[in-house]
Amino acid sequence: MKLKVTLDHNGFIPDQYAKFAPDNYRYDGMPTVNFPVIITDIPKNAQSLSVSLIDYDAVPVGGFPWIHWLAANLPVTNIPEHLKAHQLKNVIYGTNSTWHDVKMNQAPENPEINQAYIGPMPPDKTHLYTLRVCALDTNLPLQNGFFLNDLRTQSAAHILASATLELPARSH
């Protein structure tokens, strides 16, 4: 399986999907429109896809990897821009790391933010974001709001193929 994401002319995730997103790509001030992902060589017997986007460069800044996007039971095809707006049947969304801020009473609990794509917003320097897409032999028995560990354990015996891509996002 192979992934392709179109980067800007400087090799970064395009601004509209990250820290410098325009207002129409934001919800409540957060960039919430995901970039499209082209996926090739998906196994023919795949029944669904899952996706995660994690910032491991966030560890020195916040103390843990920052989860920007979790979704499961996606159709076996390319991931369109603004996946959530497509309201695709069976697609479920996991809890991203803004949930941490909710628990610290710094952000409102709102599935439009806490269970959605939240674009990269590196505070200190360019960060690399790890995009992983898995082709699965089934739909997973998860509910909206699932956590990364749920995705990992429920997926473990069902992954037919996976692909990972490191995507840089600019901080300024």
Tens of pLDDT, residues 37-95: 999 999 999 999 999 999 999 998 888 899 999 999 999 999 999 999 999 999 999 99
Look up the domain containing 39 and give its range: 2-169
Domain with residue 69: its CATH number is: 3.90.280.10
Tokens of 28: 């409540």
* CB atoms closer than 10 angstroms to residue 122: 21
Task: Tell me the whole-structure pTM to 2 decimals.
Answer: 0.94
Contacts of 122 (CB under 8 A, 6+ apart): 19, 55, 57, 58, 169, 170, 171
Structure-block tokens of residue 116: 């959605």
Average pLDDT value over all residues in the chain: 93
Q: Considering only 29-33, 37-41, 96-100, which range has the smallest mean pLDDT?
A: 96-100
Give the total number of structural domains in the chain.
1
